[in-house]
Amino acid sequence: MAAASARVCAVELPHPPWSSPPSRHSRPGVQREIQCSEQPRRREPLRRGTVSPRLPVPDHSPLPPYAGTDRLPDVSPERQLHDSESIARMRAASELAAQVLEHAGTLVKPSVTTDEIDRAVHQMIVDAGAYPSPLGYGGFPKSVCTSVNECICHGIPDSRALQNGDIINIDVTVYLNGYHGDTSRTYLCGEVDESTMQLVKVTEECMLRGISACKHGASFRTIGQRISEYVDEYGYGIDPFVGHGVGKIFHSEPIIWHTYDYEPGYMVAGQTFTIEPTLSMGGTECTLWDDGWTAVTVDGSLTAQFEHTILVTGDGAEILTMRR
Find out whether 276 is annotated in a ligand binding site: yes
Find out whether 307 is annotated in a ligand binding site: yes
Domain for residue 24, yes or no?
Answer: no
pLDDT value at residue 317: 97
Find out whether 154 is annotated in a ligand binding site: yes
Q: Is the separation of the CB atoms in 284 and 26 below 8 Å?
A: yes
Domain for residue 20, yes or no?
Answer: no
Domain for residue 93, yes or no?
Answer: yes
Domain for residue 40, yes or no?
Answer: no
Full domain range(s) for residue 208: 72-319
Please give the model's pTM, rounded to 2 decimal places: 0.90
Domain for residue 61, yes or no?
Answer: no
Find out whether 127 is annotated in a ligand binding site: no
End-to-end C-alpha distance for the chain, whole angstroms: 21
Cβ-count burial 207-222 (b if 16+ within 10 Å, e if not): bebbbebbebebebbb
Q: Is the separation of the CB atoms in 157 and 278 below 8 Å?
A: no
Domain for residue 56, yes or no?
Answer: no
**pLDDT tens per residue, the chain (324 residues)?**
776 543 334 322 233 444 443 333 333 333 334 444 455 566 789 999 999 999 999 999 999 999 989 889 999 999 999 999 999 999 999 999 999 999 999 999 999 999 999 999 999 999 999 999 999 999 999 999 999 999 999 999 999 999 999 999 999 999 999 999 999 999 999 999 999 999 999 999 999 999 999 999 999 999 999 999 999 999 999 998 999 999 999 999 999 999 987 668 999 999 999 999 999 999 999 999 999 999 999 999 999 999 999 999 999 999 999 987
Find out whether 251 is annotated in a ligand binding site: yes
pLDDT value at residue 11: 27
CATH number at residue 133: 3.90.230.10
Domain tally, the chain: 1
Domain for residue 299, yes or no?
Answer: yes
pLDDT value at residue 264: 81
Domain for residue 255, yes or no?
Answer: yes
Find out whether 263 is annotated in a ligand binding site: no
